[in-house]
Structure 1
Amino acid sequence: MFVNRQGNKLTRFGVRYLLKKHIGAGARATRTLQEKRIHRHSLRHTTAIFLLKAGADFATISQWLGHSSLNTTITYARADIDLKRQALMQVFPEILAPPRAGHVSSTTINIVDWLKRL
Structure 2
Amino acid sequence: MFRHSKAMHLLQAGVNLIYIRDFLGHVDIKTTEVYARADTETKRKAIENAYPDLIESNLPDWSRDQALLAWLSELA
TM-score of the aligned structures, taking structure 2 as reference length: 0.65
Instruction: Give the counterpart of 1:94 among 53, 60, 63.
Output: 53
Instruction: Give the counterpart of 2:10 among 35, 51, 70.
Output: 51
Instruction: Give the counterpart of 1:73 among 16, 32, 40.
Output: 32
Which protein is bigger by CA-based radius of gyration? 1
- Kindly state the Cα deviation for residue 99 of structure 1 after the two structures are TM-superposed: 3.8
Q: Which moved more, 1:61-70 or 1:92-101?
A: 92-101
Q: Which amino acid aligns with 1:80?
A: D
- Kindly state the Cα deviation for residue 98 of structure 1 after the two structures are TM-superposed: 5.3
Give the structure, 1 or 2, with the largest relative contact order (CA under 8 Å, sep 6 or more).
2
Q: Which amino acid aligns with 1:64?
A: F
Flag the structure with higher helix content. 2
CA distance in 1, matches of 2:6, 2:35: 10
1:12-63 per-residue CA deviation (whole Å, 9 max, x = no partner) reads xxxxxxxxxxxxxxxxxxxxxxxxxxxxxx2211111110111211121111
Q: Which amino acid aligns with 2:28?
A: S
Change (3 A) 1:94 1:51: same
User: 5+ residue gaps in structure 1?
Assistant: 1-41, 103-118
Check the 8 A contact 1:89/1:96 in 2, yes or no: yes
Check the 8 A contact 1:89/1:97 in 2, yes or no: no
Check the 8 A contact 1:88/1:96 in 2, yes or no: no
CA distance in 2, matches of 1:66, 1:91: 31
Instruction: Note the aligned Cα RMSD (angstroms).
Output: 1.9
| Count of aligned pairs | 61
